Amino acid sequence: MSENNTDTIDVTAYLWRYTPSLALSVIALVLFGVSALWHIQQAIKYRQKIFVFFVLGCILQVAGYISRIGCRYDLQGLGVYIAMTLFLLLAPIFYAVSMYSLLGKIIDYIGANQLSPITPTRITWIFVIGDIISLIMQSTGGAMLASGNADDTDQGTAIVLVGLGIQLGFFAFFLLLMGVFHYKTRGWEVKTSQGNWKLLLGVLEVTSGLILARSIYRIVEYAEGYDGYLISHEVYLYTLDALLMLFVQLLWKLVHPGPVLKVENEGKVDVEMAKN
């Protein structure tokens, strides 16, 4: 990077340490595209409003890999590069909004409000506020990264890192909250044929862990800078971001909350504390 922070940068050399693979981008686009269509179909079928943001996250992944294909043919294109960066950075934030709301729904659904350290309504608001802050910071920083100005890119990297750090912190706290709730309800059994809410909680924990791992990867990537090892090797984008996020979407396709929460407006399910 230039010693004079007001200097501009060779755009192609700065943005890319390799020529992005067209084949990998197309494969990712197809997989995320099919997954997005699945989730749109499920959203229409089950009409779970809390999963609207998750579907938006799926669409952002598709847009991200469309943009990446565009980058393959225009390595100097700042606009398409910024679009790709923002779409792929921000998609998991939209997953998270639905997942935060889902934990509150589960707690309320089984009538276990008294066992949660935070009430269901507050769970949604606390974590969504954290996501909004992270979204604003990552959007701002991501747009600055590809400005072609050294001073702006340094500031953009710092802003993205703070945004990712906030996301990581909130997600770690969210996992802790789920862990506490899971432990307190370990003896609860659902007396209904409506669905397995414990399986739903388990998938919520696994997918949250995957997003947490992806956030750690992104933090390390940006902390290393544009000369870093991770950003210089395309394989890590696909193994530590795309693949993990694809697993998140696949798990929620296989274990969608719709069948479990389909009677939420008809009253709470009956639960009981199993005797030890």
Per-residue pLDDT for 5 more than 50?
Answer: no
Task: Tokens 């989730």: give the residue.
Answer: 39
Quote the CA–CA distance of 224 and 214 in Å, as a whole number.
16
Please report the domains of the chain, with CATH numbers, ordered by start residue.
18-185+193-268 (1.20.1070)
Quote the CA–CA distance of 269 and 125 in Å, as a whole number.
25
Nearest CA-CA partner of 143 in 84, 93, 223, 68:
84
Confidence of residue 7 (pLDDT cuts 50, 70, 90): very low
Residues 178/204, Cβ–Cβ less than 8 Å:
yes
DSSP 240: I
Per-residue pLDDT for 77 more than 50?
Answer: yes
Q: What pTM was computed for the model? A: 0.85
Query: Could you read off the pLDDT of 112-150 as tens digits, one per residue?
Result: 888 888 888 888 888 889 889 988 988 888 777 766 666
Quote the CA–CA distance of 12 and 229 in Å, as a whole number.
18
Query: Could you read off the pLDDT of 13-38 as tens digits, one per residue?
Result: 557 888 899 999 999 999 999 999 99
Query: Could you read off the pLDDT of 192-245 as tens digits, one per residue?
Result: 544 688 889 999 999 999 999 999 999 999 888 878 899 899 999 999 999 999
pLDDT at 273: 42
DSSP 228: S
pLDDT at 242: 97
Nearest CA-CA partner of 92 in 175, 167, 33:
167
Maximum CA pair distance of the chain? Answer: 70
Lookup: tokens for 233: 């090797």
Q: What is the mean pLDDT of the chain?
A: 84
Quote the CA–CA distance of 10 and 2 in Å, as a whole number.
10
34-46 b/e (C-beta count within 10 Å ≥ 16 → b): ebbebbeebbeeb
